[in-house]
């Protein structure tokens, strides 16, 4: 059985706001094909203030899907629609004290239901913008579709490339056979053969071509995002410090309770995810201890 | 109320008599059976007796047809890889869509290596089409591997008949019988089955011990080469305590086989009959007329298996589910998909599997809590409204799928 947190169990065994809201004026219906889970979120929105007065959920799904739905309704009640749209799937997972990597998509489903409901209220059509595949890298929760897209988009050739671009395979390395399988398939489609000894792509060089941002802009932007994340880290007694940015790699120091924490790698993964979302480009976050020697001397 | 264990197709508790038989092999008789001294002289005898006990249970002609392995998966891999190594010109394998991953993953791998895999489909209650099977048999086929009993539904395949057909076509036949051995009577010497896998922990022996039955005269290539153990067919120092335990477990299984098909079956029958009566919108999956006596797999529509299991677990009841969420994979059970069970039901399948340790009182306990569990989860379900599914559930709720 999954190692669910107390919070997940609490929300599963005693779900809040189960059922449809009476006279709802915003309805979001989404499903995650990967789990066969589906969720209907109903909201009553005050038309004057655009505040969510009531929220209810109906979920066909597993323990963490029900818990994610329940906690989502708790988070968004009382928020304005614009505030609610800022809720990320990570916020949902955090509120549950974390979810197993295989179950993160349950929190994604919650966020999507919310977006769909707001779109419904505003008379817009909501379209899902991502597809989920089989989970390949369990350390960083990266699925097959994501890896395949990155391999195609960036002409990746080796497992190391895939790790550099997606983080997949950067942890325990048990998924390297699966990543090789994806590479073999995609390379065959463009008439190439997978060569385990091929030289990896120079990450910085390939990233430079499609980066309209200057390095200074990028550093400023990264600082901005880190500032936004700071309160969350500080709530857990930790902090993060930006040490250097080289190309698209950000070197950071995890300080306070975050330093040496077992979860540091996960936290760094979360920061990277957020940076990529906000900067709209590939960013790799690496502990400053792994900075190349020459750069460290200059920093 | 003690915890109720109804997940015996996953694994079983080790019988106390089995533990008792094993203990001396950790302490006094710890020697290597190949050694010639007092610490080892009983070990070879213990193993010999165990081989005989296994032979009695599966009804094979010679005890030398028993090869001890580390598990069912090893036996499966050994059988298939042996067949293709021994017959390098045969590049096809016949199996089914509902096999255990021990077979399916290996076949998937071999497919990448250039083998042609014929995965026979099943109908809505999990049955094979034997005419289609017959048309696949040819001298291009290295081996047929078909499970005796399905681990999820308990559905039995006609392996005795299928082995005859393979034999007539000159094709080797292997069956993964880990769920069948000890639950239904078998007499291998009267069949044309060439190889059979069994696993100790499914019949009250410990984990980490299995058997490959290899009919005398069947061409064979070992998976593990090394010492002379198991007549050179499976090298590696014998797991002597586990082998002795498996022997004892086989003796007990043989003594209990009638009990399994009467008393255990009665518990299973009462549970599934009552659940279907008490709870709306649920049905039994698989070939109900042709099943293991201990297994029932029930699909609860419009609710999800992991959620059911968590609530059962809270009530002290252990079972398992074919839902995707319990495995971390993308899809609900491949067995349910193969039988074309709709998603809204496949995700809500719960397997209850009994053993001789269960009681009718435990069945009553499950019946006390199960209706409420289903009802409470349905209250949360977008497909459910009040006392029944919403009208046209598949149309009424059409989420945007990611």
Question: What pLDDT is recorded for position A180?
Answer: 95
CA–CA gap between residue A163 and residue A151 (Å, rounded): 11
SS3 state at A248: coil
Question: What pLDDT is recorded for position B232?
Answer: 95
Looking at the complex, report in whole angstroms how far the Cα of residue B306 sits from the nearest Cα belonging to chain A.
Answer: 5
Q: How many CB atoms lie within 10 A of CB B316?
A: 15
Contacts of B398 in chain A (CB under 8 A): 29
Contact across the interface for A126 and B400, Cβ inside 8 Å:
yes
Contact across the interface for B401 and A12, Cβ inside 8 Å:
no
Q: Are B72 and B210 in contact (CB under 8 A)?
A: yes
At residue A260, does pLDDT exceed 70?
A: no
Q: Assess B303–A contact: CB distance below 8 Å, yes or no.
A: yes
Residues B84 and B144 in one domain: yes
Residues B318 and B241 in one domain: no
Q: Is A106 a catalytic residue?
A: yes
The chain A residue lying nearest B346, using CA atoms, is A36
Read off the pLDDT band of A207 (50, 70, 90): very low
At residue A299, does pLDDT exceed 60?
A: no
Read off the pLDDT band of A280 (50, 70, 90): confident
Residues B185 and B284 in one domain: no
Question: What pLDDT is recorded for position A205?
Answer: 44
The CATH number of the domain where B358 resides is what? 3.90.1150.10
Read off the pLDDT band of A295 (50, 70, 90): low
ipTM of the complex: 0.83
Residues B277 and B208 in one domain: no
**How many domains, chain B?**
2
Average pLDDT over residues A280-291: 82
B5, part of any domain: no
Question: What pLDDT is recorded for position B294?
Answer: 98
User: What does each C-alpha distance from B283 to A61, B242, B289, B296, B351 come to in angstroms?
Assistant: 19, 39, 14, 10, 12
Domain borders along chain A are 6-121, 135-201, 215-298
CA–CA gap between residue A115 and residue B271 (Å, rounded): 44
B3, part of any domain: no
Fold of A215-298: GMP Synthetase; Chain A, domain 3 (3.30.300)
Contacts of A24 in chain B (CB under 8 A): none
Quickly tell me which residue has 């505040």 as its tokens. A51
At residue A201, does pLDDT exceed 80?
A: no
CA–CA gap between residue B250 and residue A69 (Å, rounded): 49
Question: What pLDDT is recorded for position B37?
Answer: 85
Question: What pLDDT is recorded for position A208?
Answer: 44
Cα B305 → chain centroid: 20
Q: Residue-wise pLDDT tens for chain B (402 aa)? A: 579 999 999 999 999 999 999 999 999 899 898 888 888 888 999 999 999 999 999 999 999 999 999 999 999 999 999 999 999 999 999 999 999 999 999 999 999 999 999 999 999 999 999 999 999 999 999 999 999 999 999 999 999 999 999 999 999 999 999 999 999 999 999 999 999 999 999 999 999 999 999 999 999 999 999 999 999 999 999 999 999 999 999 999 999 999 999 999 999 999 999 999 999 999 999 999 999 999 999 999 999 999 999 999 999 999 999 776 665 555 678 999 999 998 889 889 999 999 999 999 999 999 999 999 999 999 999 999 888 888 777 677 777 765
**What is the share, in percent, of chain A residues with pLDDT greater than 70?**
88
Q: How many CB atoms lie within 10 A of CB B317?
A: 22
Query: Which candidate, B11, B12, B2, places its Cα nearest to that of B357?
Result: B12
Looking at the complex, report in whole angstroms how far the Cα of residue B317 sits from the nearest Cα belonging to chain A.
Answer: 14
**What is the share, in percent, of chain A residues with pLDDT greater than 90?**
39
Residues B113 and B241 in one domain: yes
Q: How many CB atoms lie within 10 A of CB B354?
A: 28
B400, part of any domain: no
Q: Assess B400–A contact: CB distance below 8 Å, yes or no.
A: yes
Structure tokens that stand for B287 in this block: 């070939």
Contact across the interface for A40 and B382, Cβ inside 8 Å:
yes
B401, part of any domain: no
CA–CA gap between residue A274 and residue A225 (Å, rounded): 8
Contact across the interface for B398 and A29, Cβ inside 8 Å:
yes
Q: Is A62 a catalytic residue?
A: no
Contacts of B343 in chain A (CB under 8 A): 36
Question: What pLDDT is recorded for position B344?
Answer: 85
Mutate to test the interface with A, among B3, B301, B309, B330 (most CBs of A within 10 A): B330
The chain A residue lying nearest B329, using CA atoms, is A134
A215-258 pLDDT, tens digit per residue, is 888 888 898 888 888 888 888 788 888 988 888 888 988 887 76
Structure tokens that stand for A81 in this block: 């629609």
Question: What pLDDT is recorded for position A131?
Answer: 67
Paired with A40 in beta bridges are: A29, A58
Contact across the interface for B310 and A63, Cβ inside 8 Å:
yes
CATH number belonging to domain A135-201: 1.10.10.1100
A249-256 vs A284-287, strand pairing mode:
parallel
Residues B138 and B191 in one domain: yes
Q: Specify the CATH architecture of the domain A6-121.
A: Alpha-Beta Complex (3.90)
Mutate to test the interface with A, among B301, B302, B310, B327 (most CBs of A within 10 A): B310
Residues B160 and B40 in one domain: yes
SS3 state at B190: helix
């Amino acid at each position: 059985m999954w190692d669910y947190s107390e919070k997940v169990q609490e929300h599963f065994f005693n779900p809040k706001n189960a059922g449809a809201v009476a006279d709802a004026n915003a309805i979001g219906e989404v499903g995650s094909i990967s789990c066969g889970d589906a969720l209907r979120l109903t909201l009553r929105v005050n038309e004057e203030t655009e505040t969510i007065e009531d929220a209810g959920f109906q979920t066909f799904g597993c323990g963490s899907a029900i818990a994610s739905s329940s906690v989502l309704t708790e988070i968004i009640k009382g928020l304005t629609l614009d505030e609610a749209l800022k809720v990320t799937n990570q916020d949902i997972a955090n509120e549950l004290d974390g979810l197993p990597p295989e179950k993160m998509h349950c929190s994604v489903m919650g966020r999507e239901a919310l977006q769909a409901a707001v779109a419904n209220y505003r008379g817009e059509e909501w379209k899902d913008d991502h597809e989920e595949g089989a989970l390949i890298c369990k350390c960083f929760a990266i699925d097959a579709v994501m890896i395949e897209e990155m391999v195609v988009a960036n002409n990746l050739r080796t497992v190391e490339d895939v790790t550099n671009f997606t983080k997949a395979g950067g942890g325990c390395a048990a998924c390297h056979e699966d990543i090789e399988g994806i590479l073999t398939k995609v390379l065959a489609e463009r008439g190439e053969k997978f060569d385990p000894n091929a030289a990896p792509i120079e990450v910085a060089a390939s990233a430079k071509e499609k980066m309209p941002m200057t390095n200074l802009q990028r550093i400023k932007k990264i600082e901005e995002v880190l500032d936004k994340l700071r309160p969350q880290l500080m709530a857990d007694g930790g902090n993060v410090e930006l040490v250097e940015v080289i190309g698209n790699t950000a070197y950071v120091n995890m300080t306070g309770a975050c330093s040496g924490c077992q979860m540091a790698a996960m936290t760094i993964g979360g920061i990277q995810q957020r940076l990529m979302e906000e900067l709209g480009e590939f960013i790799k976050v690496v502990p400053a201890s792994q900075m190349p020697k020459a750069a460290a001397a200059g920093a | 109320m003690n915890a109720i264990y109804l997940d015996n197709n996953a694994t079983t508790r080790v019988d106390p008599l089995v533990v008792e038989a094993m203990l001396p092999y950790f302490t006094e008789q710890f020697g290597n059976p190949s050694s010639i001294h007092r610490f080892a002289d009983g070990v070879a005898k213990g193993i010999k007796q165990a081989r005989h006990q296994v032979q009695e249970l599966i009804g094979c002609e010679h005890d030398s047809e028993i090869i001890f392995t580390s598990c069912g998966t090893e036996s499966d891999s050994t059988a298939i890889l042996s067949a293709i190594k021994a017959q390098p010109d045969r590049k096809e394998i016949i199996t089914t869509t509902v096999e255990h991953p021990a077979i399916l993953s290996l076949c998937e791998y071999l497919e990448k290596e250039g083998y042609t895999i014929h995965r026979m489909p099943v109908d809505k209650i999990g049955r094979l089409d034997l005419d289609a099977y017959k048309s696949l048999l040819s001298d291009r086929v290295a081996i047929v591997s078909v499970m005796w009993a399905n681990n999820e539904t308990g559905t039995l395949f006609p392996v005795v008949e299928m082995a005859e057909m393979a034999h007539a076509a000159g094709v080797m036949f292997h069956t993964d019988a880990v769920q069948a051995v000890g639950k239904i009577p078998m007499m291998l010497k009267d069949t044309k089955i060439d190889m059979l896998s069994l696993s100790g922990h499914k019949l009250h022996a410990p984990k980490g011990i299995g058997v490959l039955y290899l009919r005398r005269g069947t061409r064979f290539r070992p998976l593990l080469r090394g010492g002379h153990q198991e007549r050179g067919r499976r090298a590696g120092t014998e797991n002597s305590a586990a082998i002795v335990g498996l022997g004892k477990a086989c003796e007990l299984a043989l003594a209990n086989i009638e009990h399994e098909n009467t008393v255990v079956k009665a518990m299973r029958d009462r549970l599934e009959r009552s659940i279907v009566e008490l709870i709306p919108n649920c049905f039994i999956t698989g070939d109900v007329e042709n099943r293991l006596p201990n297994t029932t797999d029930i699909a609860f529509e419009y609710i999800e298996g992991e959620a059911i299991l968590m609530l059962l677990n809270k009530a002290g009841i252990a079972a398992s589910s074919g839902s995707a969420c319990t495995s971390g994979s993308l899809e609900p059970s491949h067995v349910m998909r193969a039988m074309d069970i709709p998603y809204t039901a496949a995700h809500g399948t719960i397997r209850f599997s009994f053993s001789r340790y269960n009681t009718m009182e435990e069945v009553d306990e499950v019946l006390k809590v199960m209706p409420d569990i289903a009802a409470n989860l349905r209250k949360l379900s977008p497909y459910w409204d009040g006392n029944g599914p919403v009208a046209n559930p598949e149309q009424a709720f059409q989420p945007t799928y990611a």
